[in-house]
Amino acid sequence: MAEAVTKKAPSNKATVTLTIDGRSVTVDKGTTVLEAARSLGIHVPTFCWHPKLKSVGSCRMCYVEIEKMPKLQVSCATEAMDGMVVATDSDLVKQGRRAVIEFILMNHPLDCPTCDQGGECQLQDLTFAHAIDDSRFAFQKERFVEDGSVSTFDDVQIGPEIMLNRNRCIQCYKCVRANKEAFGEFDLGAFERGNITEINAAPGRQVDNPFSGNLAEICPVGALTGMDWRYKIRVWLTKTVSSICPFTASGVNTLMYMDETKNRIYRTTSRRNDEIDDGWLSNVSRYAYQVVHADDRLLTPFIRRDGKQVEATWDEALDLIAKRLSDIQDQKGCVCIGGLVSPRLDNATLYGFNKLMRHVIGTNNVDYRTEYRMLPQTPEDHYQAACSQPIRISDVDDSDVIVVFGSDMLKEHPNLYLRIRKAFNFGAARIFILNPYSTKASDVAELEMVYHAGMDEVALGAVCLTAVEKGIVSSDETDRLREAIAFDSASAAALACGLEPDHLELMARAMAEARKVTFLAGEIISRSREREPIAAAICNLNRLFSINTKGQFGILPGHSNSRGAHHLGLAPDPPASIKAKLRSLWGQYPDTETNTTDSMMVQMRKEEIDGLIIMGANPVMLYPDRAFARESLEKLDFLVVSDLFETETTELADVVLPLSSWAEYTGDYVNLEGRVQTASKAIHPIGDSRPGYAIVEAIADRLENTLYTAEDYRRDEIDTMLEVDTACPVPNLYVPSKGGQDEDDAEYPIALMIGDDPHHRGHYTEKSASLTSHVGEAYLELSPDLAAGHEIKEGDSVRIESPVGKVVLPARISEHIRNDIVFVPRNFPSAPVTSLLMRKRRIDRVRISKVVR
């Protein structure tokens, strides 16, 4: 087991010194003997111990002999004491462990040949290690044969991706404990007792939580195995490649199991990194590899000929792109070409794309934020400041107070969600959640405050005003603050956003008294049209409570390389430091007009932009105004789209280029902390697809302007760019934070929230069979009262109408949502939910009605 506990840095805590196998070690008080031994690199075998869970000592495998103690002790549950003399390898210990294995094997079937865990089974390894070939338990083994067994092997499928074999279970309870302690899910339990203890799904439920894949991974035997790995390949025939998840902004570390001869990835497991993921993967990260092997990957370039897209060679496609782009450049000028790129692509692609657009073509029409309402043309200084604040994921662990604002953590940052749970379960964190709708993290929250949709900045303003009025914090600029918030009193602000004054006071007091505060804002803020005033409100809050001096705050980026895109200058108008660096690298920097996604679309409609290159992004599906995006792209003379799949956007393209996925080339990604991580190449590109950086470099070559003179220049230039300090200063004054509001429309009373399903992220994951087996179609989440008002029952078809469109979706009734809000996931192309949205609105409002057949 590669779970060696890293030697802890000496802290100011009390320490104890003990001797293990003749070696002396000093550890913090409270450390277990097992952890102390592992810090020395001594391997103590375990089944039930997990570094991120509380010890239970149920397997007894970690026996050690401690002097002056009459019996063997389980090291995972024995606290290290001063002067202890521990032997981990004495004859008595070996004898004890042998007996434990013999006991465990009492009821464990010897069906290793048919067991998927064979080859990576801890029980197998330890049985061999202890040379056990005989058993004194000559009687019949306990066998679970009940209805629900799908085979003569007594396998029971307890979830979309989890197969259970209760016979093989050794009752280490790791799965149940992880499910409860780490994930806060209650769909798996340990029932009965003694000989017939069984792990099973909770009565009437399926194990389908967004972290369920971890259960199969941490099972030390073959009791819980993953369906995606079931009877596919033996583990010793695969090679592992270290990678990262391209769907989460935290960039969780993964290990891909692949077979070279077949050029295929078979599964993903975690590669524990305590700084980022603690070894837990969300199902999105775990099953995303199936996207790579989806049947409908684009395999060759396509060129539109006579209105139809036909297969073409790379040479034809690249020649056409070069010819048409230079035509547009010659006839109308380089400002008539634009580029949109997905922030999920790696650094080399993003930087190459930037250089292609800005240096080779010479336009400032570049953007990577194709999913946000990009309306405001004013500079977004406060938003940039809040986005570029230093954040450390591991600092969440020991924060006293964690505030989550405008973010559905489970859906946006599953690993941060687990961190917050950890801080609650293992630390002493008080958690406050401020959201326009209730989220899954509410069960660990001391207080969940749900404000009226579109009142984000008012809610924060109310917190600030309460703190000032109640004298919780002293500020000599109270008037300025009031002016900035544009409310006279806390009660008025609280009333406007629908929050309880008592709650506000509790939160303000907690934040003021805390030693270390973590304040995290998320996608609900970034997606809002008014993100600049909201960011100003966050800055005001930060100034009032001095969060950045005693903790961290910031708006979390949404994608795996959003931070990288920002660093590499993919924003239409990047910070001055980036511009200066780019100018010094390239010798020039275009001084043309800068255009965001939205203003580019406006120009396309005016036919001021004629050529567009899109890489990896799908604005037609994800831009918050589908009709607008589609019509804009249709107006283009020439559209190049590079993507993994045929999408709504590639349908409109004149040239479609097949893009390689993250697993097919080595690429670097910058996670939300600013940490640069590498996803190594696992397999060769599928079909004729090419990595993004190769595509942009090929286009540049055809435009007779080579991007890099030597191979290593690419890396050098990117490294130079990543060194640039892009942190924008937080304003040291209270800044105005009044956001605009929409006009009320009585016809459309319900606010519509669009986001990701917990099992999906963005627009690729619906290609993963395992993820669609959890959630395969879009739904409308609404409150029981709202459903009752419209006579809607679970699963009924509901028509959702906005002024611009309508969609019919099945209803899903949820206790967590308020009566004036509905939620729809945006991940499914079959349900074009963005067609309900209008780009100029702050909050989209809809009305719903039951479809009567």
Partner 1 sequence: MLAEESIALIKEKAAKYPERKSAILPALTVAYRQVGHLNDELYSEISEIIRVPAVEIAEAATFYTMFPKHPVGKYLIQVCHNISCALLGADSLIGYLEEKLEIKKGETTSDNLFTLVTVECLGSCCTAPMMQINQDYYENLTRERVDEILEELRTRA
Partner 2 sequence: MNVVLRAIGNVFWSMPKGLAVTFKHLFKKPVTLDYPHQKKPMSPRYRGLHYLERYDDGSERCVCCGLCAAACPADCIYMEPEENEKGERRARIYEINMLRCIFCGYCEEACPEEAIFLGREYEFSDYDRDSFIYTKVQMLVTSPRKDNPFKWIIRKVRRVYGVPEPSL
Q: Which residues bind partner 1 (CB under 8 A)?
A: 186-194, 202-205
Residue 143 found at the interface with partner 2 (CB under 8 A): no
How far is residue 223 CA from its own chain's centroid? 28
Among 40, 237, 506, 512, binds partner 2 (CB under 8 A): 237
The residue within the footprint of partner 2, chosen from 94, 98, 141, 232 (CB under 8 A), is: 232
Residue 202 site contact among partner 1, partner 2, none (CB < 5 to 8 Å, cut-off depends on kind): partner 1
- How far from each other are the two terminal CA atoms of the chain, in whole angstroms? 58
Contact 535, 555 (CB under 8 A): yes
Outline where 570-688 has alpha helix (H): 576-586, 597-605, 619-622, 626-634
Residue 196 Cα to chain centre, angstroms: 38
Q: Is the CB of 70 or the CB of 113 nearer to partner 2?
A: 113
Task: Look up residue 321 and give its amino acid.
Answer: I
Question: Taking the complex as a whole, how short is the minimal distance between the CB of residue 119 and partner 2, in angstroms?
Answer: 8
- In this structure, what are the phi and psi dihedrals at residue 64, rounded to the nearest 5 degrees? -135, 160
Which range of residues in 98-106, 229-237, 604-612, 782-790 is near partner 2 by CB under 8 A? 229-237
Return the range that interacts with partner 2 (CB under 8 A); candidates 148-156, 326-334, 344-352, 427-435.
Answer: 148-156
Confirm or reject binding of residue 139 to partner 2 (CB under 8 A): no
Under rule CB under 8 A, residue 314 binds partner 2:
no
Cβ 687 to partner 2 shortest distance, Å:
23
Give which of 179, 759, 765 is closest to 411, Cα–Cα. 759
What single-letter amino acid sits at 371? E
With CB cut-offs between 5 and 8 Å by kind, which of partner 2, partner 1, none does residue 234 bind? partner 2
Cβ nearer to partner 2, comparing 229 with 289: 229
Strand order of the sheet with strand 337-341? 308-311, 302-305, 655-658, 638-643, 611-615, 337-341, 366-367
In the complex, minimum distance from the CB of residue 148 to partner 2, in angstroms, rounded to a whole number: 12
Closer residue to partner 2 in complex, CB, 118/810: 118
For partner 2, the binding residue among 230, 239, 684, 840 (CB under 8 A) is 230
Q: Which is nearer to partner 1, 209 or 399 (CB)?
A: 209
Q: Which residue in 2, 71, 192, 231 binds partner 2 (CB under 8 A)?
A: 231
For partner 2, the closer of residues 39 and 157 by Cβ is 157
Residue with smaller CB distance to partner 1, 198 or 766: 198
109 touching partner 2, by CB under 8 A: no
Q: Binding to partner 2 by residue 810, rule CB under 8 A?
A: no
At its nearest, how many Å lie between partner 1 and the CB of residue 199? 10
The answer to whether residue 332 forms part of the interface with partner 2 (CB under 8 A) is no
Both tokens assigned to 181: 């302690």
Burial 426-456 (b: 16+ CB within 10 A, else e): eeebbbbbbbbbbbbbeebbbbbbbbbbbbb
Question: In the set 35, 53, 86, 155, which binds partner 2 (CB under 8 A)?
Answer: 155
Name which of 58 and 127 has its Cβ closer to partner 1.
58
For partner 1, which is the closer residue by CB, 87 or 176?
176
| Cα–Cα distances in angstroms (integers) from residue 354 to residues 109, 382, 548, 603, 777, in the given order | 59, 24, 32, 20, 36
Residue 230 binds: one of partner 2, partner 1, none (C-beta under 5 to 8 A by kind): partner 2
Residue 118, interface with partner 2 (CB under 8 A)?
yes
Using left for φ > 0, alpha for ψ between -120 and 50, and beta otherwise, residue 800 falls in: beta
- Work out whether 113 is an interface residue with partner 2 (CB under 8 A): yes
Written as six digits, the tokens of 373 are: 């309402």
Residue type, position 675, single letter: R
Considering the complex, state which of residue 128 and residue 191 has its C-beta at the smaller distance from partner 1.
191
- The SS3 call for residue 491 is helix
- How many Å apart are CA 594 and CA 842, to the nearest integer? 23
Closest approach, Cβ 159 to partner 1, in A, equals: 14
Q: What stretch of H or E contains 169?
A: none
The residue (of 150 and 808) whose beta carbon lies closer to partner 2 is 150
Cβ contact 159:206 at 8 Å: yes
**CB nearer to partner 2: pick between 176 and 237:** 237
Residue 153 makes contact with partner 2 by CB under 8 A: yes
**Residue 471 interacting partner from partner 1, partner 2, none (CB closer than 5 to 8 Å by kind):** none
Q: Which is nearer to partner 1, 202 or 255 (CB)?
A: 202
- Rounded to whole angstroms, how far apart are CA atoms 565 and 401? 31
Q: What is the distance between the alpha carbons of residues 486 and 714, in angstroms, rounded to a whole number?
A: 49
> Are 836 and 802 spatial neighbours (Cβ–Cβ below 8 Å)?
yes
Which residue among 40, 56, 105, 112 contacts partner 2 (CB under 8 A)? Answer: 112
Q: Is 176 in the site for partner 2 (CB under 8 A)?
A: no
Nearest approach in angstroms of CB 787 to partner 1 is 19
- Assess 146 for contact with partner 2 (CB under 8 A): no
Taking CB under 8 A as the criterion, the residue among 1, 67, 143, 151 binding partner 2 is 151
Q: Would you count residue 239 as binding partner 2 (CB under 8 A)?
A: no
Identity of residue 267:
R
The span from the CA of 202 to the CA of 683, in Å, is 39
Q: Give the torsion sign (CA, 667, 211, 756, 274).
A: negative
Q: Name the one range near partner 2 by CB under 8 A: 144-152, 452-460, 598-606, 816-824.
A: 144-152
**Does the protein bind partner 2 through residue 152 (CB under 8 A)?**
yes
Q: Per rule CB under 8 A, is residue 234 in the interface with partner 2? A: yes
| Least distance from partner 1 to the Cβ atom of residue 254, Å | 29
Q: Is the Cα dihedral 658, 663, 664, 670 positive or negative?
A: positive
Q: Is 23 in the site for partner 2 (CB under 8 A)?
A: no
Nearer to partner 1, 205 or 605 (CB): 205
Q: Which partner from the list partner 1, partner 2, none does 134 bind, CB cut-off 5 to 8 Å by kind? A: partner 2
Closest Cα partner for 54 from 172, 170, 178, 197?
178
The C-alpha angle with vertex 265 and arms to 260 and 271, in degrees rounded to 5, equals: 105
CA 439 to chain centre: 16
Closest separation in Å from C-beta 180 to partner 1: 8
Chain-centroid distance, C-alpha 149: 35
Cβ-based nearer residue to partner 2, 114 or 584: 114
Gap between the Cα atoms of 763 and 754, Å rounded:
13
Q: Are the C-beta atoms of residues 431 and 444 closer than 8 Å to each other?
A: yes
Q: Which does 112 bind (CB under 5 to 8 A by kind): partner 2, partner 1, none?
A: partner 2
Nearest CA to 718 out of 770, 765, 678 is that of 678
Q: What angle do CA 119, 123, 129 make, to 5 degrees?
A: 90
Would you call 449 helix, strand, or coil by DSSP?
strand
CB of 134: closest distance to partner 2 in angstroms?
8
Give the pairing of strands 517-521 and 551-555: parallel
From partner 1, partner 2, none, interface partner of 137 (C-beta below 5 to 8 A by class): none
Residue 198 CB, shortest distance to partner 1, in Å, is 9
Q: Decide whether 192 or 704 has the Cβ nearer to partner 1.
A: 192
Cα(818)–Cα(753) distance, integer angstroms: 11
Residue with token string 């004890």: 96
Piece of 84-92, 96-104, 231-239, 375-383 that binds partner 2 (CB under 8 A):
231-239
Judged by the rule CB under 8 A, the positions of this chain that interact with partner 2 are 112-114, 118, 134, 150-153, 155, 230-234, 236-237
